Structure 1
């Protein structure tokens, strides 16, 4: 969550509004995941698990895209 907040601050410095909204959504889902874990709400935990998998996949794709791994620049 700390890295998401840090990224949020840097995104506000530019005109990257889609990442700002994505980070905001990520922070909300992390809070819901923590709430679900503390109160053992299986639905919140499942949403958090799916969201985290999607978030990690997206970030790996972005990293590979910027590093031009596997011909992604074509």
Structure 2
């Protein structure tokens, strides 16, 4: 049986995230909204930096990647809850408070 170190695991995770982000970017180009395209582009750049930091062992890149990953997951959870209207995250509540135009 083989052994996979933490570094090998992080390279695998970064590679899978990069593949998924590139696929999402292709589908976002089919739409007309530019914000998701720009957000995916930034995500792809930071995943590449995280992958580079893992391969070259650059702790600053790995730390930046970890911080970005927490932000990215939090944002995706918010978007999912918003579209599912979980809790008080309905569009009517946000319009009432002036957060949406």
Q: CA RMSD in A?
A: 0.8
Secondary structure of the 2:71 match is helix
Alignment of 1:1-74 (within 5 A): 1-73=18-90, 74=93
Gaps of 5+ in 1: none
TM-score between both structures, scaled by the size of structure 1: 0.95
Higher helix proportion, which one?
1
Divergent runs of 4+, >3 A: none
TM-score, normalization by structure 2 = 0.70
Give the match's secondary structure for 2:40.
Answer: helix
